Amino acid sequence: MTMTLTPPETRERTAPSLRTRRLPKAAVGALHGLAVLLAVAWIVGPADARAGLLAVVLAGIVPLWSRIVEGRRKAKDRLVTLLVTTAFGIALIPLGSIVWTVLEKGVPVLSREFFTYSMRNVVGEGGGIHHAITGTLLITLGATVISVPIGLFTAIYVVEYGDGTRLAGALRFLVDVMTGIPSIVAGLFAYALFVVIFGDGVRMGIGGAVALSVLMVPVVVRSCEEMLKLVPTELREASYALGVPQWRTIVKVVLPTALAGIVTGVTLAIARVIGETAPLLVIAGATDSVNFNLFDGRMATLPVFTYTSIIQPGVPPEPAIARAWGAALVLLLIVMLLNLIARLVSHVFSPAGER
């Protein structure tokens, strides 16, 4: 946690130990280490299920032992810590496996050609995803430009202006309902909307951005709302007390305080939609060539490219499937970059003293 938190923690750890008995650190560490080692051995391969069972038993000894030596409360604490850490370990297995699969299959594909070529006139080996990278960046940018202002202002309305009112409650509820719109329905909706405006068979990048916005707005609202609610009311009241109008309080006090959370929320929302396949397939279409114009013609995107390459690899299938994994990896890298930028922003912006 933070630096300020450490002193009370250490005090708790050292000072009472003069009177109460504590488990020897080395033994606990050894037991935990051995359990982790066995579990890893079981999952990675060399050992069978018995190793996993043994790991559970070994890890389970600590809280029992603690119950005898340190008492009930401390034992419970150790048990929960163990469970929480195990949950983390369990979550790491599939996530690690997915990352590993993407890296293993994606890295060999990356090359200069892969980034600078499109798929125009490419059959079989070679070619690249330049067109898909362009499309994904532009469409996601479009979606972000549409959804972040709408989402943020709605959250501000719900928390700052309308809190407690019936309208805000209804809005919250509607946003929740909106999170449940299946991605394919969002795509069909955007398509229907654009057909009304531009006529049948319309395909344009901005349509994809609209479809993604339908999916993105509720995530932005929901996370911004949570973050704004967590800003202590004392801060707002202090600002009002100084005669600062409400809107300046929001801009100068509330938003900066909640910024780290808002930025995480927005990044998450982007991450949520940047990998969407179904709606883009419907409204943005697919093409082999680069298209820079959001408002005219089909645009290729990384998820659609990945999907079509896996589903319809052609003959022989290997190069197309390899390109699909490469595209998935690039998508991850793009999100990573966005994430880094977001962290930078929130780091510089957050008021001093915040974590």
Partner 1 sequence: MNRTSMRPWAATAAGAALLVSLAACGAANESDASGDESSAGSSLSGTLNGAGASSQQSAVNAWKQGFQTENPDVTVNYDAIGSGGGREQFISGGTSFAGSDAYLDDEELAAASERCGGGDVITVPVYVSPVAVVYNLDGVDDLRLSPETLGAIFAGDITTWNDEAIATDNPDADLPDVAITPVHRGDASGTTENFTAYLAAASDGAWSHGEVEEWPIKGGEAAQQTSGVIQAVSGGSGTIGYADASQVGDLDTVAVKVGSDYVEPSPEAAAKVLDAATPVAGRAETDLALQIDRGTDAEGVYPIVLVSYQIACQKYDDPAEAELVKEWLTYVAGPEGQQASADAAGSAPLTEDFAAKVQAAIDTIG
Partner 2 sequence: MSTTTETETRAVVRPGDRVFRGISSISAIVIVSTLAGVAIFLTAEGVPGMTASADQVKSGETFLRYVTPLVFGTLWAAVIALAIATPVSIGVALFISHVAPRRLAQPIGYVIDLLAAVPSVVYGSWGILTLSSSIQPLYVWLERNLGFLPFFAGPASATGRTILTAAVVLAIMVLPIMTAICREIFLQTPRLHEEAALALGATRWEMITMAVLPYARSGIVSAAMLALGRALGETMAVAMVLSASGVISVNLISSTNPSTIAANIALSFPEASGLDVSVLIGTGLVLFAITFAVNVAARALVARHREFSGAN
Which of partner 2, partner 1, none does residue 63 bind to, with CB < 5 to 8 Å depending on kind? Answer: none
d(CA 302, CA 276): 9
Least separation, in Å, of the C-beta of 60 and partner 1? 36
Question: Contact between 237 and partner 2 (CB under 8 A)?
Answer: yes
Least separation, in Å, of the C-beta of 268 and partner 1? 17
Least separation, in Å, of the C-beta of 85 and partner 2? 6
Question: Contact between 199 and partner 2 (CB under 8 A)?
Answer: no
Question: Contact between 349 and partner 2 (CB under 8 A)?
Answer: no
Tell me phi and psi for residue 285, to 5 degrees: 70, -160
Question: Which residue, 205 or 218, is less far from partner 2 as judged by CB?
Answer: 218
Question: Contact between 350 and partner 2 (CB under 8 A)?
Answer: no
Residues 14-33 binding partner 1 (CB under 8 A) are: none
Which of partner 2, partner 1, none does residue 164 bind to, with CB < 5 to 8 Å depending on kind? Answer: partner 2
Question: Contact between 334 and partner 1 (CB under 8 A)?
Answer: yes
Question: Contact between 57 and partner 2 (CB under 8 A)?
Answer: no
Give DSSP secondary structure letters for 149-163.
HHHHHHHHIIIIIST
With contact defined as beta carbons under 8 Å apart, do 52 and 39 qualify? yes
Question: Contact between 238 and partner 1 (CB under 8 A)?
Answer: no
Question: Phi-psi category of 166—alpha, beta or left, where left has phi over 0 and alpha has psi -120 to 50?
Answer: alpha
Candidate residues 41, 54, 122, 268; the one interacting with partner 1 per rule CB under 8 A: 122
With contact defined as beta carbons under 8 Å apart, do 297 and 208 qualify? no
Question: Contact between 329 and partner 1 (CB under 8 A)?
Answer: no
Question: Which residue, 110 or 184, is less far from partner 2 as judged by CB?
Answer: 184
For helices 302-311 and 130-156, angle between their N-to-C axes, nearest 10 degrees: 130
With contact defined as beta carbons under 8 Å apart, do 42 and 48 qualify? yes
Alpha-carbon torsion (31, 34, 40, 42), positive or negative: negative
